[in-house]
């Protein structure tokens, strides 16, 4: 691990010594990213968890707009193990933790009802990544996932970059991965965003005004596994093609919202070509004036409205009640290994998995 930048003083008030720990002969640490506009992002190499994102409101006041913790022990023992972490080897759910690849069945660890979720209980979110910070705007992470880890085939080499742009308040997350054996891969970041800023209690996101660039979504059953259909959002509470507040329709007696206890669905993003970087969603918090735009090369984006947050404590005394965050998880569709008509999540030797997702912050008067 190499950290060339001082992180002794930062807007979030996090302390380096609170993030030093040895886990399986690897050291965890705090990394502070800063850009020329004053934006600051704090991360740790345990699960590549994002601890804080400090951006201004319309009055120029900075606040942390992502749910996180203020020590490595709190990250490790978080009641929400995926809180603003990197997710892998397969983000979202795989039905019954099983899939067949080239005639061979693979059994994964079950950790979400009858299903496997987010790579299993010891997925990428629990791993200590190798980290190098070459300058104030960038940190590189690397992790080798062993053949058979959590039941997934193939040794997978993952490279990931967190980078702040200097001309705009944007956090870019780049992913690359290779394998020595046919496998499935679906990486994402599970950032829990609240543009009002975390607090005690953190306010709900129900007033956030949301748009999503998607004509279709992936419906789910009662255990949140895709039914296999791709349905139109038109005429349903799932339609965010034009701006709506998150809370406007979240409690309507619509079966999909009942199945997800709110929004917890993958949207099929409108694309002119596969792999293009395009606008997926925009979010606006009217009290602070803060905005966020999400751009991604992925075909899907999971919208999750923090339905299962239960009020636990986070950084600097903040608490996180139900629906106090919104997640925009760029990814393949859930349960793709068991849905042959979904765009493939298979990675073969000699090929490279690539993804770019950007979270761009601004203000509106």
Q: What is the pLDDT of residues 103-158, one digit of tens each?
A: 999 999 999 999 999 999 999 999 999 999 999 999 999 999 999 999 999 999 99
d(CA 46, CA 65): 20
pLDDT above 70 coverage of the chain, percent: 98
- Quickly state the pLDDT bin for 9 (edges 50, 70, 90): confident
Is it the case that residue 3 has pLDDT exceeding 70? no
Write the CB contacts of 103 (distance below 8 Å, at least 6 apart in sequence). none
- Active-site residues, by number, are 190, 329
Does pTM surpass 0.95?
A: yes
Residue 68 in tokens: 């996180």
d(CA 219, CA 201): 32
Which of 132-137's residues contact partners 24+ apart within 8 Å by CB, and which partners?
A: 132/1, 132/2, 132/3, 133/2, 133/3, 133/4, 133/5, 133/31, 133/33, 134/4, 135/4, 135/5, 136/5, 136/32, 136/33, 136/34, 136/35, 137/33, 137/34, 137/35, 137/163, 137/164, 137/165, 137/166
Is it the case that residue 6 has pLDDT exceeding 80? no
Over residues 57-86, the mean pLDDT reads 98
HSE at residue 201, side-chain half, CA atoms within 13 A, is 13
Is it the case that residue 5 has pLDDT exceeding 80? no
Over residues 85-105, the mean pLDDT reads 98
- Quickly state the pLDDT bin for 63 (edges 50, 70, 90): very high
CATH class of 2-189: mainly beta
Over residues 320-345, the mean pLDDT reads 98
Write the CB contacts of 168 (distance below 8 Å, at least 6 apart in sequence). 37, 360, 362
Q: What is the pLDDT of residues 216-230, one digit of tens each?
A: 999 999 999 999 999
Over residues 304-314, the mean pLDDT reads 98
Q: Are 32 and 8 in contact (CB under 8 A)?
A: no
Give me the residue spans of the domains in the chain.
2-189
């Amino acid at each position: 691990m190499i950290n060339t930048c001082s992180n002794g003083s930062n807007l979030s008030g996090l302390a380096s010594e609170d993030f030093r720990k040895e886990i399986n002969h690897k050291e965890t640490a705090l990394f502070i990213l800063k850009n020329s506009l004053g934006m600051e992002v704090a991360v740790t190499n345990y699960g590549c968890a994002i601890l804080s994102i400090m951006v201004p409101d319309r009055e120029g006041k900075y606040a942390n707009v992502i749910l996180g913790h203020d020590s490595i022990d709190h990250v490790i023992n978080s009641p929400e193990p995926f809180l603003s972490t990197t997710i892998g080897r397969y983000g979202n759910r795989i039905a019954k933790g099983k899939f067949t690849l080239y005639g061979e069945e693979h059994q994964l660890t079950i950790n979400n009802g009858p299903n496997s979720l987010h790579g299993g209980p010891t997925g990428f979110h629990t791993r200590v990544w190798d980290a190098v910070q070459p300058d104030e705007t960038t940190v590189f992470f690397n992790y080798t996932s062993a053949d058979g880890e959590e039941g997934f085939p193939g040794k997978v080499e993952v490279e990931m970059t967190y980078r702040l742009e200097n001309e705009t308040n944007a956090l870019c997350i780049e992913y690359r991965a290779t394998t020595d054996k046919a496998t499935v891969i679906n990486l994402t970041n599970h950032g829990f965003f609240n543009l009002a800023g975390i607090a005690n209690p953190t306010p709900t996101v129900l007033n956030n005004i949301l748009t999503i660039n998607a004509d279709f979504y992936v419906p789910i059953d009662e255990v949140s596994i895709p039914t296999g259909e791709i349905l139109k959002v038109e005429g349903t509470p799932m339609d965010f093609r034009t701006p709506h507040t998150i809370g406007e329709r979240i409690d309507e007696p619509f079966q999909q919202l009942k199945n997800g206890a709110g929004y917890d669905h993958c949207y099929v993003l409108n694309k002119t070509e596969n792999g293009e970087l395009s606008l997926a969603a925009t979010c606006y918090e009217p009290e602070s004036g803060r905005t966020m735009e999400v751009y991604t090369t992925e075909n899907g984006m999971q919208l999750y409205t923090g339905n299962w947050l239960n009020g636990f404590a986070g950084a600097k005394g903040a608490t996180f009640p139900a629906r106090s965050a919104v997640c925009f998880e760029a990814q393949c569709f859930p349960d793709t290994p068991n849905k042959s008509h979904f765009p493939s999540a298979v990675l073969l030797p000699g090929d490279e998995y690539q993804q770019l997702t950007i979270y761009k912050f601004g203000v509106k008067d």
